Structure 1
Amino acid sequence: KVDVSQGEGMVCPMASVTKELPSSITARIGASRSISFPTLNNLYSRSSGNPDLEPEVTWKYELSIEQFRAFSTHRYLNPEIAVFYNDIRNQIDKSAWTGIYRNLLGINTWGVETTLGWGANRWLSGSVAFGWLDWSTESPIILETPHYKISSRLNCKLPLGTRINLEFSWFSKRQAEVMSNYYEYLPDYFVAHGNITQPISSWVDVRVEARNIFDANYEEEYGYPCEGRVILGGFNLNFQRAVK
């Protein structure tokens, strides 16, 4: 695949190879180049714009191995592991202290992502994932980006059609710029979300959703506390199902 932008004539190639191996294992390797141009807001925002921004250019390399083992219709294991390396030039970033968009000179990032999806029966399934990210940079340190992340999902389906979905995530501590060229660590945090959906007719579902179930006090970005516990309710209408 080759994309050529009309503005700069920059080429963005992408190549990948997939190999099916014994024991239901699939291996993939790929490389690509992507270009992100500054938006009008990045360039000309009255409060944060920088008209001298350069396009952000990234080379991405990834190798992944996945296996799907089905033991019955609803019992399965689906492990996957991926390693990646990114070479980023002129990353467009907003300074936490000045509030002005800028280009970071050069960043190299690498890491590992692992996921294990599973199904126990027709009523219960889920997944657990772990991610590790590290980097080196010629510019100021990468801010508010955790080195480690753990997440999981649990999906339950009850006999009356009730569906319960839970999500749990943990993020490690990360550095933030609290004053010009002065950095501190934001603490790690754990957050949980969930929702319950109950069909009440062939085309109407009632849904209740809870965000930040345990009312965790955390900041994804320094100086901007995230909202506490939020509970929402509503209806889902499925007209296609109603017609059938």
Structure 2
Amino acid sequence: MEPSSVLYGPGGAGGVINIITREGDMEANVSGNLEFSENDTMNGSLNLAGSSSNWQGFMSYNHQETDGFPMSSDYEDTDDQSGDTRLNADKTLDNVYAQGSYFASDETKLTGNISYNSAEWGKPSADGTGTNKVKYERIDDFDSLIVQLGVAHKFSPSLVFRGYVYHDESNTLDVSYKKSDYEDIKSSEDSTSTVQGANLQLVKDLFDYGIFTTSLISEQQGWESTSITSGSDTSEQFDKDAWLHTLAAEYQYQSDDLYGITLGLAAHNHEQDQGDDDNYSGQLSGYWNVADNSKVHAGVARKVRFPLLTNLYSQSSGNEDLNPEESAHFELGLKQGLGYQTEFDVTGFYTEADDYIAKDDNSIYQNLGDYKFKGVDLSIKNQYFDNLMLTVSYSYLDSEASDEDDMTELEYRPKHQYRFQGQYQFDIGLKVNLDIEHIADQVFYTSEEISGTTVSVQNDVDNYTLIDLGLSQPIMGDNLEAYIRATNLLDENYYQSEALPQAGRQVFVGINWQL
């Protein structure tokens, strides 16, 4: 959990544009994938990539479709979920993506990317075994467009400007039905969400004294929606917008790969109907190579998460009274080489979150309260044997309410996660992938009336183990590969949320190819 850079706004971690050395010519590469499974499941992709001395580009098309995922054979039918296929779990998705960069000169680089999605899918309801209300909901139409254009210009060996503008727009038709036949509409919301803005940065290389970067971000968020309830002669309309401005600075220093530090500070201004909110974030992180195979890393950060307009005004999950979430983060870790191409990695972390934002039992966004998170992530990786890679990992997470609340720990956050990953490639090219994951100690809450008072009662989620197995075999050198993979191989009947059963065993067969 390394603190993300303050240069990209609250929660930002992407959009980096750098001046890099020109690459050599590369012939166009065409590749793709096609796979099938039960319930008319089909996934496919087509990719095209190429480059020259002053440009590179990539395009892809992806298609997904399924009638739903299979239920475990151990699942017992209910009035709201019967049969071998999860009801209302169908999905169709098409995605087109393209990105490219062009060197207009030795000092100037232009970049751009665009992504378009068109989809519709069902929202599987609670199966009636819990206290959650059974709902019949679908996204009957969804499309989104994301466009980003960027430029980087080197004024001198020590001064670089980089920046980008972006536009993200999504249109969603969210429909709630009266019955499980999904014919009579109970209510609907037709919404448009937009996020657009610019991020401008100046990078000053101080050479032996590090790198200093400043960032100015201005972003507008918009939300328009029309909600209609069956039997009502009126409709509820929203037309809201908000502005988020960020001024940030970051300093990085690295000493001959012996140690390094990063210090960042950012001021934020959030303008919306509920009033302006001035806030700040910051980070301090670093590492120290105490020996050739031993690296210590540490970090502290303060973050703020402002509620999106979707969180505030969505008909199905919005809450206009949300406050920003503020959090403090601490971490300390060690990467240690153990010899025989074995690496040990352990990181401990502690987080305090005020006005934690998440959905409640009714899927409505709430400030659930003040929480403390503490935990440890550790892993051991080994690549000593030829063609064999092994990873064993463990994660511990403890969440605790720091104020008086019936919900003393957060729902569906596993306290223990154990994982084994192995990959072996035979001389004939056959590759075997095995992934085993065990999840233990989760809780959820139900509302119950005790002595005339409604209280939240903590319940335990059953532990479960998932095993995934994959086999792949090259057929025509590097040009064609056939594979078969199984998820949830043991057909475990398990839940990750109350009354929402997950997929049983799924087997996929497919091919990867390239020209």
Aligned to 1:214: 490
1:198 pairs with 2:473: yes
Residue in structure 2 matching 1:226, options 502, 506, 511:
502
Write the letter of the residue equivalent to 1:104. L
Aligned to 1:68, the other structure's residue is in SS state strand
Q: Deviation per CA, 1:36-66, whole angstroms, max 9, x where unpaired?
A: 2223332122122111111222211100011
Shift of 1:9: 4.8
Aligned to 1:43, the other structure's residue is in SS state helix
CA distance in 2, matches of 1:146, 1:223: 17
Aligned to 1:66: 335
Aligned to 2:78: none
Matched-pair contact (CA < 8 Å) for 1:85–1:111: yes
CA distance in 2, matches of 1:221, 1:235: 34
Gaps of 5+ in 2: 1-263, 271-276, 449-455
CA distance in 2, matches of 1:160, 1:10: 59
Percent sequence identity is 23
CA distance in 1, matches of 2:467, 2:305: 33
CA distance in 1, matches of 2:376, 2:280: 28
Residue in structure 2 matching 1:10, options 269, 279, 295:
279
TM-score normalized with structure 1 length: 0.88
1:159 pairs with 2:423: no
| Distance change >3 Å, CA 70–CA 225, structure 1 → 2 | same
Aligned to 1:183: 458
CA distance in 1, matches of 2:432, 2:278: 49
Shift of 1:70: 4.6
CA distance in 1, matches of 2:366, 2:345: 36
Gaps of 5+ in 1: none
Shift of 1:155: 0.9
Write the letter of the residue equivalent to 1:128. V
Aligned to 1:131: 395
Larger radius of gyration between Structure 1 and Structure 2: 2
Aligned to 2:444, the other structure's residue is in SS state strand
Matched-pair contact (CA < 8 Å) for 1:178–1:222: no
CA distance in 1, matches of 2:423, 2:303: 35
Aligned to 2:298: 29
Aligned to 1:41, the other structure's residue is in SS state helix
Shift of 1:120: 3.3
| Distance change >3 Å, CA 35–CA 209, structure 1 → 2 | farther
Shift of 1:68: 2.3
Aligned to 2:312: 43
CA distance in 2, matches of 1:6, 1:196: 52
CA distance in 2, matches of 1:162, 1:33: 48
TM-score normalized with structure 2 length: 0.43
Moved more, 32-41 or 168-177: 32-41
